[in-house]
Structure formats: C-alpha cells, structure tokens
Structure 1
Amino acid sequence: MSAEQMTSLVQRKARTGSEAHAARAMSLARALRLSAAQQADQLMGLPLSALSVTRRQIGSEDVEDCLVANWLMLLMDGAGGQVATVLLDAALVEGLIQQQTMGKVRPAVEGAEPRKHTATDAALCAPYIENVLMRASKLPEEEADRDLLNGYRFGVWAQDTQQAKLAMDAPTYNVVEMTVDLAAGARAGKIMLVMPEPARIAPVSDQDDEEQSQPAQGEKLTHNVMQLHAELTIALSRLKMPIQKVSELKVGDVLNLQVSSMAQALVLDANGRALSRGTLGQVDGMRAVQVEQQKSKQHTQPRRRASDRADLDLPDVTAPVEDGFDAQIPAEDASIPSVSEVDIFGDMDDLPVMPDMDEASKAADEQVLDWEMNQKAAQDDDVSSTQKQAGW
C-alpha cells in the first residue's frame, strides 16, 4: 500500500469517526429540537416536532430586519440586564392557543388574515417558551451554547417593533430560526430566537478584591457626598423696582443697596429661595460666608411622649387611687347624703289631680274662642272711634 493510499485511508477513518461523534454530540440545534418537543408534550399534550433549525449572527443594526410586525414578540429578561426577543408567527400562536383552550389543533384557514395579538396570547405562549429555553440551556456540550440560552425569563409583551427595538441594545445577536410541525401536520409554524451574545465577566483578582473591600461603607458615602456639586448664591440685599425704572437705568446710575452690615447676607438656592443667613467675609484671600446655624426645633414641637412629662410641670392624673374614689370622702361627714338616698321625684302624693284629656281640650278651645271674640270686639271699637273722628 502506497503512502497516498495510507493517507486516504486514515482520512476516511478520521472523517467517519468525527461524523459519528457529531451525530452523538448535543449541539444547540439538537437541544432546541428535543426541548421544544418535550415541553409541548408535557405542558399541553401537543405533538410537536422541529423540522429545521438554522443559526446566524447579526449586528445591532440588523435587529430591526428580524422583527416582524404581525408576529407575537416576547421580550425575555436575562442575566446582567440583557434582553432577548422571541418571535412566534400567527400560525404557531393560534395552534398553541387552540391546544390549551380546546385540546385540539385545527388546520389553518387559507387566505384568512391574521388577527392582532393581545396580552392574553402572550400570557398563554410565554410559559412554553420559558420552559423550552430553560430545558435547552442545560443540554449543549459547548459552554457558549449553554450561556446563550441560560437564565431567560418572560418580561413583557412588545406590542410593536419599535418597543422591541428600543429594549435590545446589545452589539451582537444570534438569530435561531425553528420551523415546527404541530399535531402531525395539522399546521406548521415558526419560532425565531434573537438572543444577545452572552456577556463575558472578567475574573476578579485577589488584589482587586482587597482594593474593593478596603473602603468602608461610611467612607464611600462620605466620598460620594463630598463630590456632589451644589450651586448657592449669596445676596447682600434685595431691591424691588418697577420694570419701567429698570429699563431707564444707564451706565453710571447708582443704586442704594441699604447694606449696613455684612452679617445679613442671604444664602439662595438655584431657584432664588432663601435657605439661610450668613456673614460675608474672606478666608486666605478668598471670599467666604459663615452660615448661621438654624435654631433647634426641640422646643417648638409638641411633646407627647411620656419622657417629656417631667419638663412640662403638669399634674399627675395617672396616679392610682389606693382605697377607691369613695375613700376620698370623709365617712364622718353626714351632711353629704348618699346617691342612693336622694329622692329626685319628691312627694308624689302632693301633686294636684290632673283633669281628663278630653275635658282639658274643650276648656282650652273655649278659652281660645273667648279670646278671639274679645279681640274682634276691640277691633270694632277702634274702627268706630276712627270714623267718628273723621266725621263720617
């Protein structure tokens, strides 16, 4: 056997061995096929098989081309704040919903316009996608393939392509397209996974750990607070002038600020609101202001706690009575009667006999009639006297 024949034989054996290993190896495509079929059967009892799986890599500028407006778009939250998008076409969405609601997938109607997707569609399809990604992320032999699918959970339903595009900001994406068959040929659908490239976290050395652990929490807070920038304005006086007088000001005019002391400077914030007062001066050749400390509000707030009672000079109304309330009244003082001995009604026998109600009513009517007759007679007398005086 020549050397060329020996080389060809070795190459054929190596090729056969690599093909056999590739057939047994768990790739990303094979993991997705198995997971999609298993989860459809376990969650919904739906016979599903993946017909084809393709994979390609795109940049962030090409993400918009993958987003189809009439597909159901699910935004998936991953580790490190990464966001992936899973798209399902209308045929697949209808099949999954029919299986979960009616227990049977009906063939697609030819020529029917796809309906608009709703939040209910997303809620029914999201659990299936979550379980497929979670199951498939554990199967591939390549660590990069496992990281690509690992840790994603359903976040929100994207109502349009613009919302999905704004949520995806990774520089590189892997697009995995799956064509699946539902219910042994009842209908076919597509799933598109737009997964960001897994973020690689650099290992932290021991020296970095020591540097990060040295500053205490209080020191970090102090450092951050001292680095804050606050703009304050110092005003010596405030003047109020009409706009007409302000417009008439010219070079050389003098305004009376009425400032007699530098101890009444106002500290103003960016909105012109007075925060405090201070004394204007200089320190080491630089302008400085000594801000007055605000008065304590300790004695201006109402005191309601038990610990404040000692300073309020109040009578002690919570002291317990040793022998009861009755013990404070001297027993030998017989001028104070007992409550049970007081007769609040008096002698009921001394009351006059009350008349019958009917008789009393008649007597009252007679009195009213007599009073009305007397009033009418008096009016008639007044009228006749007036006529006599007028000479009638």
Structure 2
Amino acid sequence: MSVIRRKLAAARAAMAEGTPGADRGWRLALARAARDAMKLPLEVPSLRLSRASLAELLEMPADRALFAVLEGPAEGMGLLVISPPILQGMIEQQTLGRVQSHAASPRKPTRTDAAMVAGLIDAALVGLEQTLAQEADLVWAGGFRYASFLDDPRPLGLLLEDFSYRILQAEVSLAHGVRTGQVLLALPAEGRGAMPSYPAPETQDDTDAPAFASALAERVEGATSELQAALTRVTLPLATIMSLRVGEVMALPTAALDHISIEGTDGRTVGLAKLGQNRGMRALRVTRSVGQDGTATGQAEVQAGNLIVPMAMPEQMRQAG
C-alpha cells in the first residue's frame, strides 16, 4: 500500500471513530454567521459536546430563552436555544447598531425576535454542514434548518422524538465580552443525513509507468556528475608535508600517464584512462571501465573508448606535448 493510501485509510478510521469535527465546526460557524449576518463580533470561549435523553435536554435551557425548532433529514427534528443575554445582544445589534453595555431585564421572546435571528441560525447551520463536508459528524450534524419558534418549552416534549440527542453547549461572548451567555444546539444522536464525501484515493495508471520511467531516466542521465582524475597517490610524513615550498619537485615513482584513475566525489574508481590532448585541451582516453564491485566491465559508469576533456591545457604542456 502506498504512503498516500495509508494516510487516507488512517484518516478515514479516525473519522469513523468520531472526531471533534462538530465541536470545531460549530465554533467557526457561529462566529462567521454573526459576522456576516449582523456584523457582530462573536466568540466561543468554551464548548461542550455531550449526549442526553429528551428529558435531560428539556431541563438544560435557561428561563425565557428563545427556542428554535429545526427540521432535518428524514423528518428529523432538532432544537437550538439562545439564552436571554445573547438574544438581547443580537436584537440590539440589529436595532441600535451595537450591543449595550447594560443588559435590559429579561423578557419573553416574541415572534419578531425569532424572525430577526432566523437568518443567523440558518447561516450557522449551513456553515456547520460545509465545515463537516468530509467528516463523519456530518451524518448527524448536517442538513438542519430553522423551521419554527416556541416561546414556551412545554410543547417540546410532544414535538421532539424521545431518544438520545447530541448536545453542543457553547458559551458565547458578544462584542468582545460586552454580553455573555449560552447557545445550545441539540440534534438526534443517530444521524439520518448524508454521508461525508471523502476524497478519492489517488491511483497510479499502470499504462503511465513506462512513460514515467523514461522521463525519470532522461532527467537522471542529464544530471551533472563531477569526476576527478588521479595520477597517483603518495604517503608522506607530516613534517615533509609541512616543509613543502612553491617550486619544489616531488618524485612520483608509481605515476604513469597511461594509467590515470577516474574517481567519483566519493572516492570510488569508475574507470581507468590514458592522459593526452585533444584540440589543444588536456584529455583522457578511457581505457578500462570499472563496476561497483571493482572488477572490469563493459557496462560501468564510464565506457572504454570515451574521450573526457576536462579543461584547457597549460601553455607549457602544449609546447612540450
């Protein structure tokens, strides 16, 4: 299995186990919806994801909160509850242009209040769905929209189905802390929505393999490779080396102009050559090629008979040669 396929498989496994996608997505969706729909700065300092029965859910909302009933996939129903301080702040932002520093006394929400925040609710739910497009949480958190408003929570026990709900309780701050409160989102725990659209794994077409190999070989063969020509190697005492002077003549008893070693930058011998000249340039005629195991071969890196012209010949050698 390729590295890319292993990473995709691991990501899918993590999604199947349930990631904090809805947690992260709801924070972003709420903030963006408030910014776009009301030009209202909204932050979510904390958010808790939990499960609860219908009876437990009905005990969570604060008094005089706004209850927005949501419709979702397969006739599923959810609930979004906005606490009084947050609802008042949203209404003030739309009517006065800013959130008042002193909150008014809590009052019973009206149908007008619900109409004024319905757009923000839908925008937040759409944003959550888009954020979860490739995450497993989309199955239960996607596809819900605002349906109706209740000013009294008592009918909720009849409207909502009696099973487990996933609860997103967000502690919300408006206008950089001027108003704080809670926004609660409750959706059926067993998702009925669309499955996430996972990215398709990348596959390699076998018919492209020869073309790819040919292109790769062309690039590799065109790469620059540095070679060094070694006439001979001598070992001298350190004192002798330290005393060498410019113009001093050194004896090279084992050197032979017809036995030059061609070496790579790693010191490995890749061929043998004979020193000469070609068109006024110092040149090497390869006489023998050497394989990776050090034995002579006709298919090594440097082929016998090839001509290597490394640089211009000094004038003294040209006259002597």
Assess if the C-alpha contact under 8 Å between 1:137 and 1:148 holds in 2: no
Are positions 1:53 and 2:47 aligned together?
yes
Offset at residue 44 of structure 1 (A): 1.2
Q: Is the 8 A contact 1:134 1:149 kept in 2?
A: no
8 Å CA contact 1:57, 1:172 repeated in 2: yes
User: What is the deviation of 1:159?
Assistant: 2.2
2:85 to 82, 87, 91: 91
The structure whose residues are more often strand, as a share, is 2
8 Å CA contact 2:72–2:78 kept in 1: the answer is yes
**Which residue does the alignment assign to 1:171?**
163
Matches within 5 A, 1:357-376: none
* 1:32 partner amino acid: W
- The 3-state SS of whatever aligns with 2:51 is strand
| 2:130 aligned with 1:146 | no
Match of 2:128 among 129, 136, 141: 136
Report the Cα distance in structure 1 between the residues aligned to 2:44 and 2:122, rounded to whole angstroms: 17
Of 28, 32, 43, which residue of structure 2 is paired with 1:38?
Answer: 32
Query: What does residue 70 of structure 1 align with?
Result: 64
Between Structure 1 and Structure 2, whose CA radius of gyration is higher?
Answer: 1
Query: Equivalent residues in 2 for 1:8-23 (5 A)?
Result: none
Query: How many angstroms apart in 2 are the aligned matches of 1:157 and 1:60?
Result: 18
Q: Conserved in 1, the CA contact under 8 Å of 2:172 and 2:182? A: yes
- Give me the whole-angstrom Cα distance separating, in 1, the residues matched to 2:20 and 2:48: 15
- Counterparts in 2 of 1:141 and 1:81: CA distance versus 1, 3 Å: closer
- AA aligned opposite 2:161: D
Confirm whether residue 114 of structure 1 aligns to residue 106 of structure 2: yes
Q: Is the 8 A contact 2:43 2:174 kept in 1?
A: yes
What is the distance in 2 between the residues matched to 1:137 and 1:200? Answer: 13
Distance 1:61 1:85 in 2: 13
* 1:73–1:164 CA contact under 8 A, matched in 2: no
**Alignment-derived partner of residue 365 in structure 1:** none
SS in 2 for 1:126: helix
Tell whether the 8 Å contact from 2:140 to 2:191 is kept in structure 1 after alignment. no
| Structure 1 stretches of 4+ moved >6 Å | none
**Following TM superposition, by how much is the alpha carbon of 1:94 offset from its aligned partner in structure 2, in angstroms?**
0.7
Distance 1:83 1:102, change over 3 A: same
Kept after mapping to 2: 8 A contact 1:177/1:193: yes
CA RMSD of aligned residues (A): 2.6
Q: State the Cα deviation string for residues 287-346 of structure 1 (Å, max 9, x = none).
A: xxxxxxxxxxxxxxxxxxxxxxxxxxxxxxxxxxxxxxxxxxxxxxxxxxxxxxxxxxxx
Please, what TM-score do these two structures have when normalized by structure 2?
0.51
Identity %: 27
Unmatched segments (≥5 aa) in structure 2: 1-10, 194-321
Is the aligned partner of 1:100 residue 2:94? yes
Structure 1 residues not aligned, in runs of 5+: 1-17, 202-392
Query: Superposed, which structure 2 residues align to 1:1-392 within 5 Å?
Result: 27-109=21-103, 113-140=105-132, 143-200=135-192
Query: 1:73-98, CA deviations, whole angstroms, 9 ceiling, x for partnerless residues?
Result: 00011111111110001110011111
State the shift of 1:66 in Å: 2.3
Aligned to 2:109, the other structure's residue is in SS state: coil
Q: Identify the structure with bigger relative contact order (alpha carbons < 8 Å, sequence gap 6+).
A: 2
Q: Which amino acid aligns with 1:190?
A: Q
**Closer, same or farther: CA 200–140 of 1 in aligned 2, 3 Å:** closer
Kept in 2: contact 1:51–1:181 (CA 8 A)? yes
Structure 2 Cα separation of the partners of residues 31 and 68 of structure 1: 24
**AA matched with 2:50:** R
**SS across alignment from 2:185:** strand
Equivalent position amino acid for 2:28 in 1: L
The residue aligned with 1:217 is none
How many residues in Structure 1 have an aligned counterpart in Structure 2?
A: 179
C-alpha distance in 2 between matches for 1:116 and 1:104: 21
Deviation (angstroms), 1:33: 1.3
